[in-house]
Structure 1
């Protein structure tokens, strides 16, 4: 009954199934591990943010370069404020506004972007408070450079002079005449007249759309594995039923096989026109020539 499994066709089907199922399970498990890793990162980021509020600020040099472990840590830096820029289209507590970003020229020779606060409304340099003069020491939360188009950061160009859409060394390098740190700081306490900007979690450490995409892909791969198993059993059952019918002599009929000779034809359709009348005429002549006794 199952000898058909040894045919070349079924060898190919079986090999495909034996390779496809482990591959689907592996890919589903990998996507699930990615989702679990993002959940762990999210939990770690929350714990880091809570501990960062109470820990002492550390010098900037000790926390660079910025990564998942140092993003969100409190830091301190000393220098002189230089060029000031505005970052439009930033929301805070559901209101539209803009950041006031000032470059702090540190003693190390590089400039550190410092978000001194947030103001409501459209970006207006006349409303932005001027930075303090002289040497200052700032304390705030260290943040990684933003990526335009990611996490709500605008990627639009053509902004007026004195504005930037993203806070990153790549975006600021053509706007300021300083070497820049690949990081920025948001002050714990905003300068007068402004609202402090809360720190954000490091990239890829939250339960964002990417995390739930991983979870969705996990389900898809496991569904694919189940579909392969289902189709294999369906083909097997169909083949077994065909083999059983063949043993019983019940085979699928070809089109026209069920029609007997002349069944598809009407009465007299197989005879040539006039054939019947000719036979009757011959019988009449034969009867006429027979002598009557």
Structure 2
């Protein structure tokens, strides 16, 4: 009698645990599918903005909401502020390590300054601080690009405040800190310069993606775990006993 009661309790506990595990993993799988659908909608919106007519000037960009201006093509005119050029370290292009070169552009007609991610240069493996020459034309220039947020960040072992302000080479760049240090009337967005290689810079930027595929991958894993738990439960509780 006691053995029968114990077996029933054990069966009930195993069934409850298996049911909870199946429900939890299935819910996580559907949640990942929902995230994938959201990312697909975001990617479609990004692609649509990239196909729209280019904006001309910072005033046209500022007139848009922050969510509507990202990834829009744009033309800007101004003068480079070469003395404030920054080199972001440990950036890759074509699998090679190097630097992203960022230079503020003082708009003409103004007012205001926009930080432009101008392109990429390779690293000197013999001397890390030796930078490849980059041409910065004087006078009025006109560039093509796309609107972006702040420069992408890498993991930083030291806080940004600890970086020497006089060094043009740094791991990351905070727009607010850069604005305070330089005194420039910097816009809260940046522009990624596009076009053919020039001025010693490459511009084969990585394509902007929403990361939808990873959510499908996670969903597959959760549904796979859900199915495995259900299969093991049926095998041990029914098939093997029979």
Q: Do the aligned partners of residues 137 and 16 (structure 1) sit closer, same or farther apart at CA in structure 2, a change above 3 Å counting?
A: same
Instruction: Give the aligned partner of residue 84 of structure 2.
Output: 84
**Unaligned residue ranges in structure 1 (runs of 5+):** 242-293
Instruction: Tell me if structure 2 keeps the 8 A contact 1:115–1:187.
Output: yes
Q: Which has the higher contact order (CA 8 A, sep 6+)?
A: 2
Aligned to 2:117: 115
Q: Does the C-alpha gap of structure 1 residues 170 and 201 become closer, same or farther in structure 2, counting only changes over 3 Å?
A: farther
Q: Distance in 2 between matches of 1:234 and 1:119?
A: 59
Give the equivalent residue in structure 1 for 2:145. Answer: 140
CA apart distance, 1:144: 1.7
Match of 1:220 in 2: 221
Question: How far apart are the structure 2 equivalents of 1:45 and 1:238?
Answer: 51
Deviations 1:119-149 (A, max 9, x none): 455465683324423x655442212212322
1:187 correspondence with 2:193: yes
Deviations 1:186-233 (A, max 9, x none): 33457963345245444x6146xxx43x34432332233334333433
Aligned residues: 224
In 2 relative to 1, CA 167–15 (structure 1 residues): closer, same or farther, beyond 3 Å?
Answer: same
- Contact conserved, 1:169 with 1:182, CA < 8 A, in 2? yes
Long gaps (5+) in structure 2:
none
Give the TM-score, by structure 1 length.
0.57
In the alignment, structure 1 residue 104 sits paired with structure 2 residue 98: no
- Contact 1:90 / 1:96 at 8 angstroms: preserved in 2? yes
Pair 169,201 (structure 1): closer, same or farther in 2 beyond 3 Å: farther
Which protein shows a greater Rg?
A: 1
The whole-number CA distance in structure 2 between the counterparts of 1:6 and 1:119 is 70
Contact 1:104 / 1:112 at 8 angstroms: preserved in 2? yes
- 1:56 correspondence with 2:58: no
Q: Is the partner of 2:117 in helix, strand or coil?
A: strand
Q: How does 1:1-293 map to 2 (within 5 A)?
A: 7-38=8-39, 41-42=42-43, 45-46=46-47, 48-49=49-50, 51=51, 55-58=53-56, 59-63=60-64, 65=66, 67=67, 69-82=68-81, 83-87=83-87, 88-93=89-94, 97-106=98-107, 110-122=112-124, 127-133=133-139, 138-149=143-154, 155=156, 161-166=167-172, 168-170=174-176, 172-173=178-179, 175-189=181-195, 193-195=199-201, 197-202=203-208, 205-206=210-211, 211-212=213-214, 214-237=215-238
